[in-house]
Structure 1
Amino acid sequence: MSSKLTLGVEEEFFVVDRRGRLSRHAAAVVDAADDQDGELQTELTRSQAELATGVCRDRDDLLGQLRSLRGELATAGARRDLRLLPSGTTPVDEDDPPSITPSPRYQRMADHFGAMIQRVATCGCHVHVGIPDAATGIHVLNHVRPWLPLLLAVTANSPLEAGATTGYRSWRYRKWSQWPSAGPPPVFSSPDHYESVVDGCLRSGAIIDRAMVYWDIRLSEHQPTLEFRISDVAATPDEAVLLAVLIRGLTHAALDTDEPPPDLASEVLRAQLWRAARDGLAGQCPYPTHDTPIPAHTALNELTSLLKPVLRENDDLEFTEDLVARLGRTGGGADRQLRTFDQAGDPLDVVDMLAVAPST
């Protein structure tokens, strides 16, 4: 490995008021925030804000940008008595959910997909890893597909919706799967094969443009990156960076092999992702080298051990081992949400626990 692969992270958030209810003023928060460390923008609904880091090679740079951008959004929100909520779904019940953000593209999506547009308003985390060309991206995509369930479990952070538990650690993933283009990608034989499938989705009307290729991993349309879209927005910047360095490690491992990709049917992988969304880090998780699911924390430790050489070379090993050990003690984001909710029975306590602190 001659150099570290570049990384970038996009995170989506809900903007909520002091009662934990969705605000219609996310655009004003974005406009008022300082985005000198990256990019801030609105999302599908009027209650969502998004950040995007710059291109990073160093883990500490990535972590610093995430902390800064989260803090800037939270500070801009606090000026309006609003809070930034890193959760894949909204814990508090909504009497009148906010409408979509006014833009021609979002309006076209609403007209095309009907009532579904409101039901899929969720917040995720997207990790970009640099690749030299599309053929390399396809090679990596094919080899890392079997790891998607564990990557989903690592940041599962959406067990509540509308004031109640859902029975899933990542309810966001189940909701997002309603999109016709969402879910695990198939194995592709070449970039031309990838393009032919995207073209078929466009011609069918299941997507209205290429930006709606919502596979859990896809080739980025605007950057020389492979984009991992599997995860809930992480509860903390540290957990988002853990996801990113694991993805970078898996990408390096895929680049270093000439073996054919694992023979894993999309239908089986989809079933495994259902299990990961249900259990998160608290239960059993499918693992590529095991016939049946194993404890998720065991799976995460085994992945860390497998990637140890590349994590060490990237200066990510100590950080990864520390974060994995911390998650073993505290549980993942979903576990912490449920623990807080069980203690008081009030979803506002979950909002209080999760809300990003303004910059000082």
Structure 2
Amino acid sequence: MRTFGVEEELLLVDPETGVPQAVSGAVIRYAREHGEQVPVPNGKDTFETEMQREQLETGTRPCTSLDELAEQIRAGRAAAAQAAAGVDAAVVALATSPVEVRPSLTPKRRYRMMADAYGVTADEQLTCGCHVHVNISSPDEGVGVLDRIRPWLPPLLALSANSPFWQGRDTGYDSWRQRVWDRWPSSGPTEPFEDAKTYRATVDALLETGVLLDEGMIYFDARLSRHYPTVEIRVADVCLDADDTALMAALVRALVDTAADEWRAGLPPDPVRTELLRLAMWRASRSGMREELVHPVTRHAAPARTVVEALLEHVRPALERSGDLDTVLRLLDALWERGNGATRQRASYERAENVHDVVTDAIRASAPR
């Protein structure tokens, strides 16, 4: 089976008020100084900083089984929570802050250059995503996968949507993170590349425009990793519940397996235009699981459950081969029953009518069971 892994970006907040705290550096120092008490599960020295000091990234090692990966996800969250508590903060798996915040830039040269180059886009970029890496045998296989998973990415965003609030108010979107992230010049879906040579030429052409600072800013919805022999799928919000993160990873690996099979068999990718994919992603960010989505096959509006069932049928053979099907069905049933993060955040707000309580409720929901 292909190995896979997950990177999760988490918010750092005051545990009492839910106000984001610019303490990522202090959290990382605490983790390094208390390594025995705060064992980071991914084999790295410590956690990673992100663009804003109110964020922390944790990640898993490459895993073969879904059970192993789920345990790694829970262990990463637990270690992050323990390190944050050491500096009187808390971690919460929210893709945007419900509480008003003015983010604090992490003091690194690259981030300062981004702030200078992109203005408000960088200033307001306090969003947390979930990135899934899946092993590939070659760049050509990876590009074959990228070309064939394009129509199936919006349903993943709908399932993971966990960012309805922004600067103290309900945006009306289930994933406002996706709308904020879409401001970057290289974000979003892509045209089919056909082979690794064309993918590389496209990346080089984008860099030669001078619009992007470096290759790290190739923010496609799905891309070849620069550092690992993987494809990296980047559409999901960070999920409120760790089980939903495991579900995202299982579906993504099955998508990659399915697409790789099609590529090896010489089946052409779906020729859907990028303009339609942008509409489908917008619909997913707006509605999440509440209303209709764009069906990946018919291109027509369809109930969210119908679209997710189509995704499940598309990848069912791959899930059966990996032994993940029963677990995925169980996790999907649980998600339908309790709702995604956006649904649960709004339910918290309806009970308390206070965005601060939304965050404090989410701290408990984010904690690994």
Q: Which residue of 1 aligns with 2:84?
A: 77
Q: Secondary structure at the match of 1:338?
A: helix
Measure, in 2, the Cα distance between the counterparts of 1:239 and 1:255. 24
Cα distance in structure 2, aligned partners of 1:306 and 1:140: 14
| Structure 1 segment 267-286 matched on structure 2, within 5 A | 267-286=275-294
Alpha-carbon shift at residue 358 of structure 1 (Å): 6.5
SS at match of 1:223: coil
Structure 1 counterpart of 2:222, one-letter code? I
- State the SS of the aligned residue for 1:13: strand
Matched, 1:244 2:249: yes
- Tell me what 1:183 maps to: 188
The corresponding residue for 1:91 is 98
User: Would you identify which runs of 4 or more consecutive aligned residues in structure 1 move more than 6 Å?
Assistant: 357-360
Question: Residues 8 and 127 of structure 1 are in contact (CA less than 8 Å); yes or no, is this contact kept in structure 2?
Answer: yes
Q: What's the counterpart of residue 140 of structure 1?
A: 145
Amino acid of the structure 2 residue aligned with 1:235: L
Matches within 5 A, 1:205-284: 205-257=210-262, 258-284=266-292
Q: Is the 8 A contact 2:103 2:124 kept in 1?
A: no
Provide the rounded CA distance (Å) in 2 between the counterparts of 1:242 and 1:169.
18
- Please say if residues 10 and 125 of structure 1, whose CA atoms lie closer than 8 Å, have aligned partners that are also in contact: yes
Once the two structures are TM-superposed, the CA of residue 293 in structure 1 deviates from its matched residue by 2.1
> 2:297 corresponds to which letter in structure 1?
T
Displacement of 1:195 in angstroms is 1.4
TM-score with structure 1 setting the length = 0.95
Provide the C-alpha distance between the structure 2 equivalents of 1:232 and 1:36, rounded to a whole number of angstroms. Answer: 22
Amino acid at match of 1:36: V
Q: Which residue of 2 aligns with 1:129?
A: 134
Report if the CA contact (8 A) 2:103-2:126 is conserved.
no
In the alignment, which of 303, 312, 323 is matched to residue 295 of structure 1?
Answer: 303
Equivalent AA in structure 2 for residue 273 of structure 1? M
Show the 5 A alignment for 1:143-162: 143-162=148-167
SS of residue matched to 2:48:
strand
- CA distance in structure 1 between the partners assigned to 2:194 and 2:329 by the alignment: 35
CA distance in structure 2 between the aligned counterparts of 1:325 and 1:54, rounded to whole angstroms: 27
Residue 66 of structure 1: aligned partner:
73
Identity %: 39
Instruction: Call closer, same or farther: CA 1:324–1:137 in 2, change over 3 Å.
Output: same
What's 2:59 paired with?
52
Aligned residues of 1:301 and 1:324 also touching (Cα < 8 A): no
Work out which of the residue numbers 15, 35, 60 in structure 1 matches 2:12. 15
AA of the residue aligned to 1:14: L
- Contact 2:26 2:87 survives alignment (8 Å): no
User: How far apart are residue 309 of structure 1 and its match?
Assistant: 2.4
Q: Which runs of 5+ in 1 are unaligned?
A: none
Q: Is the 8 A contact 1:88 1:123 kept in 2?
A: yes
Separation (CA, whole Å) in 2 of partners of 1:271 and 1:306? 21
Aligned to 2:26: 28
Distance 2:81 2:118 in 1: 32
Q: CA RMSD in A?
A: 1.5
149-158 or 350-359: which moved more? Answer: 350-359
Runs of 5+ consecutive residues of structure 2 not aligned to the other structure: 32-37
Deviation per residue, 1:79-138 (Å, 9 max, x gap): 3221111111100112xx232101111112112212321122210000000001110011
Give the Cα separation in 2 of the matches to 1:156 and 1:359. Answer: 19
What do residues 232-274 of structure 1 show as CA deviations (whole Å, max 9, x unaligned)?
A: 1111111011011101111111111221100111111111110
Deviating more after overlay: 115-124 vs 161-170: 115-124
Please give the per-residue CA displacement for 1:196-217, whole angstroms capped at 9, x wherever unaligned. Answer: 2211211112211111100000
Q: How many residues align?
A: 355
Preserved CA contact (<8 Å) 1:30 1:73:
no
Measured in 1, the distance between the counterparts of 2:62 and 2:78 equals 19
Q: Could you tell me which residue of structure 2 aligns to residue 316 of structure 1?
A: 324
CA apart distance, 1:35: 4.5
